[in-house]
Amino acid sequence: MATTVVVVIALALAVIGFMLLAMSGVRRRAERTASPVGIRVVRSRVAAEPGPPPPLVAPAVPDTPEVQMNRRLFLNRAWLLAMSVFGVAFAGTSVGMLWPNKISGFGGKINAGKLTDILNQIRQSDGIPYYNPIGRFYIVPYAHADDPNNMYVKAGVAKDGIMVIFQKCAHLGCRVPYCPTSHWFECPCHGSKYNYAGERQVGSPAPAGLWRFALEITAGQVMVDTSQRLEQPPAGTDTVHQPPAGPHCVSIGAK
């Protein structure tokens, strides 16, 4: 809205400047073509006697140098102002179009829902993590989320009994689904395997664990910031000590 107002003002100033310049040109042409003697007398062919002589018209008085200078200065400043406003409006519009403006969706803050609803859904589904397709993350229960010395708590990715895990594999970036039989995250591309906390397990080609997203819980709502990946646990990290609960969903890479 503000950009539109600026553009309208710039166009109005440009039109005013053009009109003033046109009026100045018309006046100069009128001064050059004006007769210094007066209006030519036209006599009637049928008149028997000549009529009274026409009144003489005084020649046009040229503007003084001061008036000409003031007019030229005004036009120059008007044009300069119009072009400046137009330039600012154009630059502002261009920057506004190119500037990233992520308010919602992946790359911004996402409301994942009520914490109680998320935990109830996980309990009712036999521990299957809550998945948010818009934010591309999992939410898993984490028993150490209340420990202030825990590495994930310090990083702001675990809080109030939950942790947020990014779905992207740390190996080559494939999406890592959850395996309901082993209760691990297993990459179908190259067999990288991560425990329930997204920590890399032995035998996986991934160099480290899954990335995390920061979260905040406001009025019971879980807000996840997907603008930056955080706290990728190094290989060998195991804070949950959870062996596979059953057969793996992906056989490649398993040892």
Average of per-residue pLDDT values in the chain? 79
Q: Which domains does the chain have, with CATH numbers?
A: 1-33+64-99 (no CATH), 109-230 (2.102.10.10)
Out of 64-68, 135-139, 213-217, 247-251, which region has the weakest mean confidence (pLDDT)?
64-68
pLDDT of residue 153: 92
Q: How far is CA 104 from CA 110, 217, 226, in A?
A: 6, 17, 10
pLDDT of residue 37: 45
pLDDT of residue 223: 94
Whether residue 21 is predicted with pLDDT greater than 70 in this model: the reply is no
pLDDT of residue 41: 43
Q: Give me the sign of the Cα torsion angle 84, 85, 88, 89.
A: negative
